[in-house]
Homo-oligomer: A and B are copies of this chain.
Amino acid sequence: MAGGELVLLDFWASPFGQRCRIALAEKKLPYDYSEQELLGAKSDLLLRSNPIHAKVPVLLHGDGDGRAVCESLAILEYLDDAFPDATPRLLPSAADDPYARARARFWADYVDKKVYPVGTRLWKVKGEEGVRAAAGARGELVEALRTLDGELGEKEFFGGEFGFVDVALVPMMPWVYSFARYGGFSVEEECPRVAAWARRCMERDSVAGSLRSPEEIYDFIGLLRKHYGIDD
């Protein structure tokens, strides 16, 4: 492995952290996993490594605390950039296909803007105003899932082969199934090709070894709802 040691600061249920775990597993890069508190006091290491957002995931690379790379999509790009011999690449190289890189970045950005934050608006609701907001979020989320279904089409993976957009989206799927339970819609009905694609992704060791079941995520959201005082 080029450079020093890798450490991933993460939290078990984080879809953003799971992106990094999948990428590290695909590339067969050994690393130490450091589980962080989500709701309790943040560790000194996390605050030192990501002083701006104080959020997981953070990838430390090098001796001592190492260089800290923050934000999951930047971590995915960093793994391609810093370990060019650790294949598969998640994005094609700039020399090979700059346009495919731009498209993949577009769709990963779409996932970041339209899936997780909208789904969060669906379950993090309180009072009457919250119920109205949740109805709006439900419509937005279903539209985003249909859009992703259209973009996937009959392809096996978003970029043809398993890559950047797949790694960005697939850890959202156990969350999406939970959002669908809160929103009262069916993932299979609204985006059948995405549902089948998620099952194909789960056949990969990298994905199966990084994701948790929709039931575990649903229970975890239940805990969060209690924590935020939404449920008793």
Contacts and interface: CB of A to CB of B under 8 A. Distances in A.
Contacts of A71: 105-106, 109
A77 B101 contact: yes
A147 interface: yes
A94 B98 contact: no
A22 interface: no
Contact of A69 (B52, B67, B102, B110): B102
A191 interface: no
A106 B74 contact: yes
A33 to B, nearest CB: 20
A10 interface: no
A81 B109 contact: no
Interface string A98-116: 1101100110011000000
B147 A105 contact: no
Among A69, A95, A147: residue with most chain B CB under 10 A: A69
A12 interface: no
A84 B96 CA distance: 12
B94 A80 contact: yes
Given A69-B99, A82-B98, A84-B94, A105 B74 contact: yes
A23 B179 CA distance: 40
Interface string A131-155: 0000000000000000100000000
Interface in A61-89: 61, 67, 69-71, 73-75, 77-78, 80-82, 84
A141 to B, nearest CB: 15
B77 A105 contact: yes
15 contacts: A67-B99, A69-B102, A70-B106, A71-B105, A71-B106, A74-B106, A74-B109, A77-B105, A78-B98, A78-B102, A80-B94, A81-B102, A82-B98, A84-B94, A84-B95
Interface of A: 52, 61, 67, 69-71, 73-75, 77-78, 80-82, 84, 94-95, 98-99, 101-102, 105-106, 109-110, 147
